[in-house]
Amino acid sequence: MSSKQQCVKLNDGNFIPALGFGTYKPEEVTENKPLEATHLALEAGFRHIDTAYVYQTENHVGQAIRSKIAAGLVKREDIFLTTKLWCTFHRPELVRSNLEKSLKNLQLDYADLYIIHYPMQMKPGEDLFPEDEHGKTLFDTVDICATWEAMEKCKDAGLTKSIGVSNFNYRQLEMILNKPGLKYKPVCNQVECHLYLNQRKLLNYCKSKDIVLVAYCALGSQRPKRWVDPSSPVLLNDPVLCDIAKKHKRSPAQIALRYHLQRGIVVLAQSYKENEIKENIQVFEFELPSEDMKILDSLDRNLRYAPAPFGEGHPEYPFSDEF
């Protein structure tokens, strides 16, 4: 892994770089942007790349990684690649096929981390967001523990080195952790986490179970029109955050990322701008004093930028619980 970065040990013995690069593409962003951005991220020193089947960016991410391997900039083992099982593939017999589709898109032999994207099942088929004639999401009924067993088989088959979850609340994590015959614990729980939603309770719970919390939307999200309320506050414009950034002669994004790293969270940074990508990787060059950490803690307002409205009618919609 890049010497610029720190790594966190997972409960299966593998290591994940503490800073990752997110590749979600809002609809309003042009088609080839993820390819350009992943190239820039790898050149800047990012070695942890996060994608997902549903993002439809895997082919671009894979292309960027393979070109950097071919150019001798990195080896495959230097890269930590995460992708995710989508909600329409939760039936145990479909889990491996979704990972195989992702690997085919990426043109890679294995993922470093494969995670269940949401604890909600949707009707299998070609549609990523299946709906009835009234625009209501078509759900499916699958035991999450059966899905997890299929994830374990993917790890045993060598298609992924580690397995984890995303957007699970503590009760849903308990369902897996208490499953009879559990072979592998989830190594991580990737959730929305930022200064306005600092996930204190879920973080403490995950730490107690040796599960790493991975933060997405750490910079306040890309604000895609489809998912994010345009009236929600812009995190990086927060005056308290900006004051602390000025004091340390750093960008607000660097402060927001550093805050999570010091809490023991693995954090994903996303940007399509070269200067921001280069800036974001410099978060290992400074430390925030405890008084600044306390001030940043106080910004929490339980605000969720990405509430996954497509899943709101699902019995396992994860964001109804307290944490």
Reference 126, options 88, 95, 100, 91; nearest CA is: 88
Given a contact cutoff of 8 angstroms between Cβ atoms, the answer to whether 139 and 123 are in contact is: yes
CB neighbour class for 274 (10 Å; exposed up to 12, middle 13-18, buried from 19): middle
Stated length of the chain: 323
Q: Can you tell me the distance from the alpha carbon of 285 to that of 283, in angstroms, rounded to the nearest whole number?
A: 5
What are the start-end ranges of the E strands in the chain? 7-9, 15-17, 19-22, 48-50, 80-85, 111-116, 160-166, 188-192, 212-216, 266-269
Active-site residue, selected from the candidate residues 24, 53, 55, 317: 55
If one counts every other C-beta atom within 10 angstroms of the C-beta of residue 29, the result is: 15
Q: Can you tell me the distance from the alpha carbon of 147 to that of 164, in angstroms, rounded to the nearest whole number?
A: 12
The yes-or-no answer on residue 118 being catalytic is no
Q: What contacts 267, CB < 8 A, 6 or more positions away?
A: 18, 19, 20, 214, 215, 218, 257, 260, 261
Is residue 117 marked as binding? yes
Give SS3 for 282: helix
Q: What angle do CA 21, 62, 28 make, to 5 degrees?
A: 60
Given a contact cutoff of 8 angstroms between Cβ atoms, the answer to whether 10 and 210 are in contact is: no
Handedness of CA 281, 23, 323, 202 (dihedral sign): negative
Instruction: Write out the binding residues for substrate.
Output: 117
Active site residues: 55
